[in-house]
Structure 1
Amino acid sequence: MFCSIDPSQFLAGENHYQAYEMGAAMVVGARPPRLQEEVMSLILRIFLAFAGLITALLVARDSLKFDIVQMFVAILLVTGVLLIGSLWSLWRRQA
């Protein structure tokens, strides 16, 4: 069984004896994940999956720099999506 105590909750004096079951591990002192955190995690995983696909086309998967290139591609994807969203917003205001 895996147990961990969140230091921020422990120092804040919150009830750190509660245990929540998360998958196969029992986490002591953790609060259940909020919906926003789960959605953000899902979005980041999707970006990293697409970045992994693109990076696999450019760099060998067993290369030492694969993870670095994958993160760079993920940052470029996020930046591109934000840029497209910003330009779309500007275009809709002008129309």
Structure 2
Amino acid sequence: MSMALSDMMRLASQAEKEGVTLAEKISRCLSPEEIVRMQDDLETELASNYRNIEEFMGGIEVPSIDDMMSLGDEELLDLLGENVPASSDETAAE
């Protein structure tokens, strides 16, 4: 976790305890230069996290809605990896 994120979490916690908004707490505790630096650091961290997600998702194949609609019930359940009771009445009775 970056210093900017831990600082933001600390400020958020303090703001909650004091009953003020995070924006109010930031404006009282940080100089304009510190706010800009924190924004830059958070932007860098978010971009890095986004790239990590993009890399992870790059190898995942997501079926289209048309492909999913053409599946039978058993195929759809296999795809979802769920074991759903055959009757909704059985679920309601539990």
TM surpasses 0.5: no
Q: Is the radius of gyration larger for structure 1 or structure 2?
A: 2
- After TM superposition, the score normalised by the length of structure 2 is 0.32
